Amino acid sequence: MFNPEMETIAPDKLREIQNARLLATVERMWNNVPYYRQRMQEAGISPADIHSVEDLPKLPFITKKDFREQYPYGMLGVPRDQIVRIHASSGTTGKPTVAAYTRADIEAWAECGARCLGCGGGNASDVFQVSYGYGLFTGGLGMHYAGEKLGAAVIPTSAGNTEKQLMLMQDLGVTLLCCTPSYALQIAEVAQRLGIDLHALPLKAGFFGAEPWTDAMRRHIEQAFPLKALDIYGMTELSGPGVAHECLEQNGLHVWEDYFYPEIIDPDTGEPLPDGQQGELVVTCLAKEGMPLIRYRTRDITRILPGRDCPCGRTHRRIARLRGRTDDMLIIRGVNVFPSQIEDVLIRIDGVLPNYLITVDRQGNLDTMEIKVEVTEQSFTDHIKGLEALRDDIAAKLKSVITVGARIVLVEPNSLARGLGKAKRVVDLRKL
């Protein structure tokens, strides 16, 4: 553990810290963020109404829309001269989402990241390869500072130039790796092509995130690399990677509750749900200065695992692995479909690479879904009927899980684009 005192803190002590930090955050927003003060006034409350995290449901939500409307500086909690760093997430529509950090924010972010690395057994003796992209994206620099905070030897390879990544991984004796799970699989593919035995490397843990991934994909990565593949959670609005992380139990992600207070709500009504129930994750940042955030609607669907009794000893509550974002969810002929469900089916079928592209279109009034999947040597038998059987098998297994039919198109290996960062899995051509 990186910070055993805080990671195993008694729940009542943790609650004291949360309450004190929440009050300071509400005060800061009331005083420094005019738009949120107005929202509180519209809700008929003032900082005097907030005494503890129990009072959170009284406070208004903040959404992605607020970030857009307050772009770029409307959400600053401090004068701009106290900001030392600005990141931005790739806005798929219009302006990016901007995150601004004070020096203390950068420090707190590194602390949380270092705890994440500790979850994978990381310590100062490790060699840590950061294959997330460096730049506006929070992944690269966020994990870089986390690694330095831990005291590990950080190699800032960023994403891309996979052959060189592999050379450094071998030559420098990398023990910890972080990147998107899809890029991890690409590294494995290139290693196989080059005849590099990844299992001869001293790797011990991988920190994978920035896109939803399944347990089946985890097994795939763990077969390809001699490491424990762990799930890291975060988002630009909250600071970046390192909000929550899986420990070696691989059973839920510990939310660093002294910095981030999690709630689960019904996404339709906004009502809070008890621990154990699935809904939308809402996070309050308890210590952020640059861009304080109260009740941010992440659009991520998960549940809080009841209890604080993880065998690892950490007392911070866990969220379940994410099944996908409400944004990622496709509605096909009225049925909710998450790309992660499709991935889960594909990865269990021998001879199919876990690389796929979903194309949704509308013909007349009917939604159509086409899924391109890559064929490998394993599944190729020189028979048309063998390939047709593979295609029909995939179609049948998918239909049994997602209930809507999809047209399966077998494509050549490596014909689908490999992402360096977040993999693009869905193309929606419907003009809705």
Alpha-carbon distance of 3 to 125, in angstroms, equals: 16
Residue 384 binding another protein, by CB under 8 A? yes
Contact, 243 vs 317, CB < 8 A?
no
Minimum CB separation of residue 361 from another protein in Å reads 16
Helices (H) and strands (E) in the chain, counts: 11, 21
The 33-62 contact track toward another protein, x by CB under 8 A, reads ------------------------------
Q: How many amino acids of this chain bind another protein (CB under 8 A)?
A: 18
Segment interacting with another protein (CB under 8 A) among 102-110, 231-239, 335-343, 406-414: 406-414
Q: Which of 153, 329, 387, 426 binds another protein (CB under 8 A)?
A: 387
What residues from 336 to 375 belong to the interface with another protein (CB under 8 A)?
Answer: 375
Residue number with CB closer to another protein (40 or 375): 375
Q: Which of 94, 363, 412, 431 binds another protein (CB under 8 A)?
A: 412
Q: Which of 376, 403, 427, 430 binds another protein (CB under 8 A)?
A: 376
> Which residues on adjacent β-strands are paired with residue 371?
358, 408
Residue 382 binding another protein, by CB under 8 A? yes
Segment interacting with another protein (CB under 8 A) among 167-175, 329-337, 380-388, 419-427: 380-388
Q: Which of 277, 414, 424, 429 binds another protein (CB under 8 A)?
A: 414
The single residue listed with the structure tokens 């929550």 is 244
Q: Which of 61, 71, 134, 380 binds another protein (CB under 8 A)?
A: 380
- Read off the amino acid at residue 170: Q
Neighbours of 219 (CB within 10 A): 13
Contact, 76 vs 100, CB < 8 A?
yes
Residue 409 binding another protein, by CB under 8 A? yes
Nearest alpha-carbon partner for 233 in 221, 222, 246, 220? 246
What residues from 115 to 154 belong to the interface with another protein (CB under 8 A)?
Answer: none
Residue number with CB closer to another protein (313 or 413): 413
- Read off the amino acid at residue 422: K
Q: Which of 17, 410, 418, 419 binds another protein (CB under 8 A)?
A: 410
Q: Is 242 left (phi over 0), alpha (psi -120 to 50) or beta?
A: left
Residue 392 binding another protein, by CB under 8 A? no
Transcribe 37-84 into DSSP letters. Answer: HHHHHHTT--GGG--SGGGGGGSPPB-HHHHHHTTTTTT-SS-GGGEE
Alpha-carbon distance of 138 to 88, in angstroms, equals: 8
Residues that bind another protein (CB under 8 A): 193, 375-377, 380-384, 387-388, 409-415
